[in-house]
Amino acid sequence: MSPKNIGVTEVALRDAHQSLFATRMAMEDMVDACDDIDKAGFWSIECWGGATFDACIRFLNEDPWKRLRTFRELMPNSRLQMLLRGQNLLGYRHYEDTVVDKFVEKSKENGMDVFRVFDALNDPRNLERAMQAVKKVDGHAQGTICYTVSPLHDVEGYIKQAGQLLDMGADSIALKDMAALLKPQPAYDIVRGIKETYGEDTQINVHCHSTTGVTLVTLMKAIEAGADVVDTAISSLSLGPGHNPTESLVEMLEGTNYTTDLDMDRLINIRDHFKKVRPKYKEFESKTLVDTNIFLSQIPGGMLSNMESQLNAQGAGDRIDEVMAEVPRVRKDAGYPPLVTPSSQIVGTQAVFNVLMGRYKVMTAEFADLMLGYYGECIGERDPELIKQAEKQTKKEAITCRPADLLAPEWEELRAQAEALEGFDGTDEDVLTNALFPGVAPGFFTTRHEGPKNVGTDPALVKKRENEPVLEPITYKVTVGGRTQTVRVEPAE
Amino acid sequence: MSPKNIGVTEVALRDAHQSLFATRMAMEDMVDACDDIDKAGFWSIECWGGATFDACIRFLNEDPWKRLRTFRELMPNSRLQMLLRGQNLLGYRHYEDTVVDKFVEKSKENGMDVFRVFDALNDPRNLERAMQAVKKVDGHAQGTICYTVSPLHDVEGYIKQAGQLLDMGADSIALKDMAALLKPQPAYDIVRGIKETYGEDTQINVHCHSTTGVTLVTLMKAIEAGADVVDTAISSLSLGPGHNPTESLVEMLEGTNYTTDLDMDRLINIRDHFKKVRPKYKEFESKTLVDTNIFLSQIPGGMLSNMESQLNAQGAGDRIDEVMAEVPRVRKDAGYPPLVTPSSQIVGTQAVFNVLMGRYKVMTAEFADLMLGYYGECIGERDPELIKQAEKQTKKEAITCRPADLLAPEWEELRAQAEALEGFDGTDEDVLTNALFPGVAPGFFTTRHEGPKNVGTDPALVKKRENEPVLEPITYKVTVGGRTQTVRVEPAE
């Protein structure tokens, strides 16, 4: 029997640098790798969506739509893939359905192929319209399960969720493990369960981060259970809060009943390219190498540091243990949302408030909205007393409908807003950019003509910095008014 | 069925810092972790042998025997484990049998329990005496297979080698993967094969480095095949050229038919301790995060950098590709030795000579000895023409006997040598120290009274260094006493 071919999604161009160095990688640091990436034999290339759109206009003065077109041009043989937060698109609120349609249509038109659609609460109603929109433009609609752990989450629930996604017309199912919580055995059980329930030809893509150090094993067990495609990052952009190394996956499968068709020579070129690039972004990089704390606390690293800085700002840095103990209670009260943007911030901030001011003495506006159903439904019931309190505080009613059903058509208004902006180029793409980031786009439109910025540091400087001695006493040549003197300088203490 | 308990050997105190920062960790940076290590539930604690003995006297002015006694005292509940290079003991030549006996006896007496005995060439004759010596003093004799890859090495060969070790009385078998070359499937096949051939109660310990990124998966498959104990390092001293994280192993097994009995609270204490220690040794640390090159080149990272510096010294740095192509040929000529100290240096240097001066125009003394059998036997036949050339060059004869059989009793002579040294304390331990490192021990004996040195950097200084700006030329406006001048400052050199 010839081994089963396992597809690989390379995430170097999107999630790898999003996870490793705050999405700061400049397009010019990617283009030279694209030919090799295009020809290495990947199932798809994740290169857009997630936080890249925001980072482009906020930090890099780069048009994200142009980035997408450039990728399309540089990688004509590949499926390009993006991450899309359902009804939120790439922004931080729900958009009305026609905006969702328009965004998907324009993304497809500019070169996107595979749309990985997810919702932070796993509420299928928040995915539905985006999935339909992808189907309408003949894109690949990948329905996503956000993996989390709670007393209510179990293998059966995830299998059922996969069924809902397939009912929406999902071309494939993504099992997305954003916090590196997915252990080998549950991965095996979920993948096997989906295959056995919905048919062995149900395509399953598995996405794991590497933070906890266990998830290459998770990918192995998922593959043994029948997973078809797995996500990895080229080794020089791998590990830590990022992903498992692509080359390690390839080598891991040797001699098993599985194989990849990746071209190792191309992988080496890609690796060597990003090996030179990564040090440029060192200042943005997290120091975390491996962290299994999240298995115990259920609190992702980013959420923890958020809560710590909130406490420190209140001079209560010593109460972090109380807050960590409060998080699971708040999460239970809210019906056990997965802890991922934005629910992680909402739950975390409320936990901080509860510790500092007493339980629910003050409810944040976002937590009230979460309790009232404005973010969608969670797996568990929300605490009825807290729902009442939220209604009273906000003068809003709890809802049970799909949140986006409350939104009126807004495309014309969004276009009008964009047209009022200096530097607006008249395209629907620009309308969408402003709709997604109305606080950032206007500034970007006025500076766009200056061209992209590279916020990385020159590698020579990085090297120099690393080798630089500590401020030891040093002798300078000092030139003042044409006269040069030798001056010895040393720290005064 | 209750899950099978998997034993864990924690390598933080020996191989972790040997692999990550050149064996430089000072004893004072370890003692505070020992109580937690002792009580965490490990199968054994690797804490001595390998390069630690050499590093103690060469860099740390510390008596290695005293280190062992301190570990024994601080970890009274644990099996202490060491790595012993068969007839080489911890040095770089073969020792006569009574010296081997004496070393093992003294190690046991000072507190050692588990002796992992290996030979770089996998020649069982080089292990035999050390294994017997361990049995004689009622130590745990762990016979070791050094895993390597070549056209002659296969699963059956390793299974056969395990049988030879068991015939010597091995209490357990170690499968030692010093170069992170052991992929999941061969690991499974070898472990399963040993169990099926010699009985399911044959204890198998698996030791992998993490360099290539695949070996936590290897441990998983080894465990599925029946491995009883695996080696890991606490996460804050893990990864890169080191080992897989202990906590990740624990978490990985959740929900499977396997478990560890490790105490997670203790692990967290150990982790936090070494998290503070590791930055002190940053200057010794390799930058490698993950490197799958070795799968392609068969050349370990350390060997590659050795050859590069040899070439650079000859102004021939551009010929590294030729040398890399020559290595497999030299290795074949020598009968496919595993590439590990010292065979990696011997083969690498000969490959450099062959490229620079023509194939075997010059044979190094060490390569000649290897060809003549003075290091022992390899799995393959050595090239007969080259054996003849080696005989001619060295005026020595090729041997087929066990190399140590040629050695005359040397204990009395070694004692006499030691007694002539200033600072010698009269113990057999000191005789052994000098016997192992006659170039280093005399100096150490004279400075021993000054006490151990810590070669790590103060963490505050490390932090300062990282945040220090580069010293670029800079122009200041300096205002003194109301008068402003422009001052240009630049490093004088």
The amino acid occupying position A181 is: L
- What pLDDT was estimated at residue A156? 98
Q: What's the mean pLDDT in A243-262?
A: 97
ipTM rounded to 2 decimals:
0.88
Residue A23 lies in a domain: yes
**Of the candidates B10, B95, B82, which has an alpha carbon nearest to the alpha carbon of residue B52?**
B82
Q: What's the mean pLDDT in A214-241?
A: 97
Of A405, A420, A438, the residue that ends a domain is A405
- What pLDDT was estimated at residue A470? 43
Q: How many helices (H) and strands (E) does chain A have?
A: 21, 12
Question: Which band of pLDDT confidence, cut at 50, 70 and 90, is reported for residue A493?
Answer: very low
Interface test with B, best of A147, A149, A220, A252 (most B CBs within 10 A): A252
Are B60 and B110 members of one domain?
A: yes
Are A102 and A14 members of one domain?
A: yes
In the block, residue with structure tokens 């004072």: B28
Residue B410 lies in a domain: no
What is the distance, to the nearest Å, from the Cα of residue B279 to the centroid of all Cα atoms in its chain? Answer: 21
The amino acid occupying position B404 is: A
What are phi and psi for residue A450, nearest 5 degrees? -75, -10
What is the distance, to the nearest Å, from the Cα of residue A202 to the centroid of all Cα atoms in its chain? Answer: 25
- Contact between B492 and B473 under an 8 Å Cβ cutoff? The reply is no
Distance CA A189, CA A221 (A): 9
Are B220 and B356 members of one domain?
A: no
In angstroms, the separation between the Cα of residue A478 and the nearest Cα of chain B is 5
Among the partner residues A213, A264, A296, nearest to B248 by beta-carbon distance = A213
Asked if the model's pLDDT at residue A486 lies above 90, the reply is no
What are phi and psi for residue A117, nearest 5 degrees? -105, 125
Residues of A in contact with B282 (CB under 8 A): none
Contacts of A220 (CB under 8 A, 6+ apart): A184, A252, B184, B217, B220, B221
Residue B421 lies in a domain: no
Distance CA B447, CA B62 (A): 9
Burial class (CB in 10 A: 0-12, 13-18, 19+), B71: buried
Range of the domain at B161: 4-284
Residues of B in contact with A189 (CB under 8 A): 255
Question: Which band of pLDDT confidence, cut at 50, 70 and 90, is reported for residue A473?
Answer: low
The amino acid occupying position B347 is: V
Element (H, E) at B8: strand B7-10
pLDDT one-digit tens code per residue, A59-86:
999 999 999 999 999 999 999 999 999 9
Write the CA distances from B203 to B2, B84, B162, B220, integer angstroms.
20, 19, 11, 16
How does strand A483-489 pair with strand A474-480? antiparallel
- Reduced to 3 states, what is the DSSP secondary structure of residue A276? helix
Of B353, B388, B404, the residue that ends a domain is B404
More confident residue, B153 or A308: B153
Tell me which of A97-111, A183-197, B335-349, B389-403 is least confident: B335-349
The CATH number of residue B393's host domain is 1.10.472.90
Half-sphere exposure of residue A128: CA atoms within 13 angstroms, side-chain side: 13
Residue B122 lies in a domain: yes
Interface contact A245-B490, CB threshold 8 A: no
Write the DSSP assignment of A208-230 as a string of letters: E--TTS-HHHHHHHHHHHT--EE
Report which listed range, A279-288, A318-327, B430-439, is most confident: B430-439
Are A107 and A208 members of one domain?
A: yes
- What pLDDT was estimated at residue B193? 98
Interface contact A290-B248, CB threshold 8 A: yes
- Contact between B438 and B414 under an 8 Å Cβ cutoff? The reply is no
**Of the candidates B19, B466, B458, B463, which has an alpha carbon nearest to the alpha carbon of residue B237?**
B19
Residue A67 lies in a domain: yes
Distance CA B165, CA B305 (A): 33
Are A258 and A302 members of one domain?
A: no
Are B174 and B29 members of one domain?
A: yes
In angstroms, the separation between the Cα of residue B490 and the nearest Cα of chain A is 6
Q: DSSP secondary-structure letter at A319? A: G
Contacts of A180 (CB under 8 A, 6+ apart): A208, A209, A210, A211, A212, A213, A214, A215, A294
Interface contact B212-A251, CB threshold 8 A: yes
Residue B50 lies in a domain: yes
Q: How many domains does chain A have?
A: 2
The CATH number of residue A132's host domain is 3.20.20.70
Interface contact B247-A477, CB threshold 8 A: no
In the block, residue with structure tokens 């020089």: A236
What global pTM score does this model have?
0.90
Q: What's the mean pLDDT in A242-271?
A: 97
Are B198 and B302 members of one domain?
A: no
Asked if the model's pLDDT at residue A106 lies above 80, the reply is yes
Q: Search chain B and give the residue with CA nearest A182.
A: B252
Reading the block at residue A52, the tokens are: 């890249």
Distance CA A375, CA A367 (A): 10
Interface contact B489-A476, CB threshold 8 A: yes
Residues of A in contact with B235 (CB under 8 A): 213, 289-292
- What pLDDT was estimated at residue B470? 45
In angstroms, the separation between the Cα of residue A486 and the nearest Cα of chain B is 8
Interface contact A185-B254, CB threshold 8 A: yes
Reading the block at residue A450, the tokens are: 């200056």
Question: Which band of pLDDT confidence, cut at 50, 70 and 90, is reported for residue A467?
Answer: low
Chains A, B: CB contacts within 8 A come to 142
- What pLDDT was estimated at residue A202? 98
Are A276 and A306 members of one domain?
A: no
Are A87 and A160 members of one domain?
A: yes
Residue B336 lies in a domain: yes
Are A197 and A89 members of one domain?
A: yes
Interface contact A235-B186, CB threshold 8 A: no
Are B12 and B34 members of one domain?
A: yes
- What pLDDT was estimated at residue A309? 86
Among the partner residues A184, A221, A255, nearest to B186 by beta-carbon distance = A255
Interface contact B251-A212, CB threshold 8 A: yes
In the block, residue with structure tokens 């972090």: A320
Q: Search chain A and give the residue with CA nearest B485.
A: A480
Report which listed range, A309-318, A333-342, B167-176, is most confident: B167-176
Interface test with A, best of B147, B234, B251, B463 (most A CBs within 10 A): B251
- What pLDDT was estimated at residue B472? 57
- What pLDDT was estimated at residue B17? 96
- What pLDDT was estimated at residue A464? 66
Residue A486 lies in a domain: no
- Contact between B99 and B411 under an 8 Å Cβ cutoff? The reply is yes
Are B305 and B271 members of one domain?
A: no
Asked if the model's pLDDT at residue A459 lies above 90, the reply is no
- Contact between A457 and A282 under an 8 Å Cβ cutoff? The reply is yes
In angstroms, the separation between the Cα of residue A170 and the nearest Cα of chain B is 30
Of A405, A437, A463, the residue that ends a domain is A405
**Of the candidates A479, A484, A475, which has an alpha carbon nearest to the alpha carbon of residue B475?**
A479
Interface test with A, best of B254, B265, B292, B468 (most A CBs within 10 A): B292
Interface test with A, best of B216, B295, B458, B468 (most A CBs within 10 A): B216
More confident residue, B21 or A115: A115
Contacts of B482 (CB under 8 A, 6+ apart): none
- Beta-bridged to residue A49, according to DSSP, are A83
What are phi and psi for residue A378, nearest 5 degrees? -105, 175
What are phi and psi for residue B476, nearest 5 degrees? -105, 150
Within B381-458, residue ranges assigned H as helices are: 384-394, 411-419, 428-436, 441-447
Interface contact A476-B465, CB threshold 8 A: no
More confident residue, A381 or A305: A381
Among the partner residues A290, A470, A481, nearest to B468 by beta-carbon distance = A470
**Of the candidates A252, A223, A437, which has an alpha carbon nearest to the alpha carbon of residue B188?**
A252
What are phi and psi for residue B304, nearest 5 degrees? -60, -45
Q: What's the mean pLDDT in A457-472?
A: 63
Distance CA A149, CA B198 (A): 42
- Contact between B142 and B167 under an 8 Å Cβ cutoff? The reply is no
Low-confidence ranges of chain B (pLDDT < 50): 469-470, 493
Reading the block at residue B102, the tokens are: 């004496």
Reading the block at residue A350, the tokens are: 């409320």
- Contact between A222 and B151 under an 8 Å Cβ cutoff? The reply is no
Interface contact A216-B216, CB threshold 8 A: yes
Residues of B in contact with A480 (CB under 8 A): 485-488
